[in-house]
Structure 1
């Protein structure tokens, strides 16, 4: 995701201590991700608390709102709640090569940091892996179409796909059956 200028914080003029920043992340933010999953947009409020010291910027990002995405089951629009927190530490070390999950190195002459990627990461990590409507709330037309799809079953209860499995795995299946 390309850094968006509205998520840049210039820390060089800030005094040491805690500073609070608020961002409204709307449809334009989700469109900028370039990911099909987020093409329906959303509305998320992000609060960033930045604790600045001589050589460290410790940020705590809190996001809350919703993302609109297609349901994985029926493909109808789904309003997925978003709520999460993430901590990110930026070290002003002169070594921009420092990079791990929580610690990011910035060059010693850096005067600003862009949080677009970290805001997106916090939102993405707060979403469930599967995006589905609650039971009984999927699109009825899609439910009907899914109901018409049948899996061919063999007399032993396995699907036709399983019946065509690679014979090399048969020995492993017999071991599994012995354990049960």
Structure 2
């Protein structure tokens, strides 16, 4: 059993609490593709029931990131909560992101990979130093302002008040109906 494994056979049907400190050794074991440095605390509440297990992960910490623009290191705060339901079944299978089937004879539930994935989900794709935050928000506003929404299509049968905005070729096609 690894450092992040829980022996579920010996657990009684009630709530159980597990704490994990996550650092460089964790990222060396599970991968450093998304993140190689950071200090995190994972608080896992495991509710064992007769036919399933419910796990709630609360992860809090600081990721050490490098700015994509300036290559300066900076600290990125992470605080997130995720839930997974582990149901007993005939074979190991991931049904959805929140529901996982585990074999009935599974003795140990390995949580390390889930913790790694949840930390990875909290890391932004575009890593910008906090001093560029105002600039990034302004950039997002510009993009949103340029989006044009359309409520209908040219072959829409509804008669609108803005017929003068319609290309005259569509009027000719409407006469063919």
Please report the TM-score for the alignment, with normalisation by the length of structure 2: 0.69
Q: Matches of residues 134-149 of structure 1 in structure 2 within 5 Å?
A: 134-135=130-131
Pairwise CA RMSD: 1.9
Aligned: 1:61 with 2:86: no
- Deviation above 4 Å: which 4+ runs of structure 1? none
Q: SS of the counterpart of 1:38?
A: coil
* Whole-Å separation in 1 of the counterparts to 2:34 and 2:68: 10
Output one character per residue of 1:102-145: Cα deviation in whole Å (capped at 9) or x when no partner.
Answer: 111111111111011110121122222222112269xxxxxxxx
Task: Please say if residues 63 and 84 of structure 1, whose CA atoms lie closer than 8 Å, have aligned partners that are also in contact.
Answer: yes
Q: Which residue of 1 aligns with 2:91?
A: 95
- May I ask how many residue pairs the two structures share in their alignment? 133
Q: CA deviation at 1:31?
A: 2.7
Matched, 1:29 2:26: yes
1:52 to 43, 48, 52: 48
Shift of 1:34: 2.9
Corresponding residue for 1:164?
A: none
- Structure 2: give runs of 5+ residues left out of the alignment: 134-177
Matched, 1:14 2:28: no
User: Displacement of 1:98 after TM fit?
Assistant: 4.8
Q: What SS is found at the alignment partner of 1:135?
A: helix
Q: What's the counterpart of residue 76 of structure 1?
A: 72
Match of residue 110 from structure 1 = 106
SS of 1:5 mapped into structure 2: coil
Asked which structure has the greater CA Rg, the reply is 2
Among 118, 122, 136, the alignment partner of 2:118 is 122
Q: What's the CA shift string for 1:32-89, capped at 9, x where partnerless?
A: 34334423x1100000000001110100000001111211111121211111011011
